[in-house]
Amino acid sequence: MDASDCASRAAVVTHMYEPLTHRKGVESWFVEYQGDVRPHPRFEVQLDEWGRAAVHHADLAIIRLDDPVQKNILPVRLADAEATVGEFLAVVGYGYIEELSSGDGTRRFSREEVRELLEPDRKNVLFGSPDSSSYKGDTGGPCLRETDQGSELLGISNRGLGQAPTFTSIPHYREWLVEEIRLAGQRAPTP
């Protein structure tokens, strides 16, 4: 698969959670947005005979939304610095039902340790547990570094694609991402 195999449009769903003021618990709601998919120009995924990613390169995309997100949703900063071995990060994804080979819609997160920067290019990072049942459904989810200034996007999980839990490193693609975000900001909003 390459960039030409990617969908041209996608839906993005934002989930909001706020504590209830009159009793214990959390109120939640979501808003769905539509947008154009802009895969990285060097995107490539090659699957083996079992449908697992044997090769994946530049496995990320930008979705240029037709309409801006609500003002109360703050963007996550892009990481400047590469991951370091032993660093912990938060990974967000959805639950997975093995018997149905699909997600169950349950949002989840885990705290995972960076294990290795993979050679030769260090654009993919090995992290977390090698137990594949613990991470199915996380592919495409954010890998977040917690800092004193808040969360920053360190990577995009692709650990459900192959035999090892890995993520695509954001710092290696930061220049392309920043340019795509700049271009999206110049577009006129949809009437």
- Secondary structure class of 138 (helix, strand, coil): coil
Question: For residue 104, what pLDDT is reported?
Answer: 60
Q: Is 39's pLDDT higher than 60?
A: yes
- The span from the CA of 16 to the CA of 28, in Å, is 5
Question: For residue 3, what pLDDT is reported?
Answer: 86
Side chain identity, residue 105: G
Go through 138-150 and write b for each residue having 16 or more CB atoms within 10 A of its CB, e for each that does not.
Answer: bbbbbbbbeeeee
Question: For residue 95, what pLDDT is reported?
Answer: 61
Model's pTM, two decimal places? 0.80
What's the whole-number mean pLDDT along residues 26-50?
86
Q: What is the pLDDT of residues 110-155, one digit of tens each?
A: 888 999 988 767 788 888 876 655 556 567 789 999 999 989 999 9
Question: For residue 15, what pLDDT is reported?
Answer: 75
Judged on CB neighbours under 10 Å (0-12, 13-18, 19+), 57 is: middle
Are β-strands 150-157 and 102-117 bridged in parallel, bridged antiparallel, or unpaired?
unpaired
